[in-house]
Amino acid sequence: MGVPEPHELRKTAESFGIDAGRYDRARPRYPEALITEIVGNTPGASILDVGTGTGIAARQFKNTGCQVLGVEPDERMAEFARTTGIDVEVANFEEWDPKNRTFDILTAGQAWHWVDPQRGAEKAAQVVKPGGTFAVFWHLFLPPDDIAKAFGEAFRKVAPNFPIKVDRTPNREAYKPIIDKTEEALHKTGFHNPQRHFYTWQQNYTRAEYLDLLPTQGGLTRVPKPQQEEVLAAVGAAIDARGGQFTCDYTTVLFTAAS
């Protein structure tokens, strides 16, 4: 599944809280090398996690000894994150009131594309301490061609007018337009030393695990249940043809800048 079109991002973001438990259970975690790169030599750092969702990345940062505060627009997602030990304030980042608080690091996992680049950069400049770090990151996943084809064909059949393209082949440049806009906006607010990092890895999925993950993706969260089940059945059949399991390739893209 490719990157959503800009005008659909808010609608898609608001759909993730439909089943927060499934989202937290099925969504992949982030590579430990990425967590280490962001935290660096700042153990115990204070982190503001934008679009914290159910707290997946926030918990990984907290486990390194960091103090983490999440900002999340969806109360359902925020409430789930709180049950896992993450402090969360409910707001869109652009409108969120930091109450004069500042942080060593600002992070956003799978979330910065929901934020207006210019307003987000201005708020980031307000809340990241001098010498601090801005770090946003996304997963790109590439299942085998036959499984991707089964999903694309089934999805187009049940939702032919859906505005998000689901059959683009993701690559490490997929988020380049978003990162370019973010870098330009951050530069205007005083951030410097922009860097891009790529982490490639793999994850094995059983049929049940992958069909648990798919409904948390931005396309299926907005498809009615009967149509969703039709798509899952088609993908499940493709996985069955592979013996009931497969290996998915991932690239996690990280963009950082210094304040």
pLDDT for 55-70, tens place per residue? 999 999 999 999 999 9
Cβ pair 50, 13 in contact under 8 A:
no
| Stated pTM of the model | 0.90
Mean pLDDT value across residues 156-170: 71
SS3 of 44, please?
Answer: coil
Looking at the predicted structure, is the pLDDT value of residue 5 above 60?
A: no
155 token code pair: 């999805």
- Alpha-carbon distance of 171 to 42, in angstroms, equals 31
DSSP for 92-124, written as a single string:
-GGG---TT--EEEEEEES-GGGS-HHHHHHHH
Beta strands 192-206; 245-258: pairing state: antiparallel
DSSP for 193-235, written as a single string:
EEEEEEEEEEEEEEHHHHHHHGGGSTTGGGS-HHHHHHHHHHH
Q: Could you tell me the sign of the dihedral formed by the alpha carbons of 29, 106, 69, 15, in that order?
A: negative
pLDDT band, residue 4 (cuts 50/70/90): very low
pLDDT for position 169: 58
The DSSP code for 141 is E
Cβ pair 113, 3 in contact under 8 A:
yes
pLDDT for 71-120, tens place per residue? 999 999 999 999 999 999 999 999 999 999 999 999 999 999 999 999 99
DSSP for 225-244, written as a single string:
HHHHHHHHHHHHHHHHHTTS
The DSSP code for 162 is -
pLDDT band, residue 252 (cuts 50/70/90): very high
Residue type, 18: I
Q: Phi, psi (5° rounding) for residue 196?
A: -125, 135
Closest CA to 134 of 121, 146, 115: 121
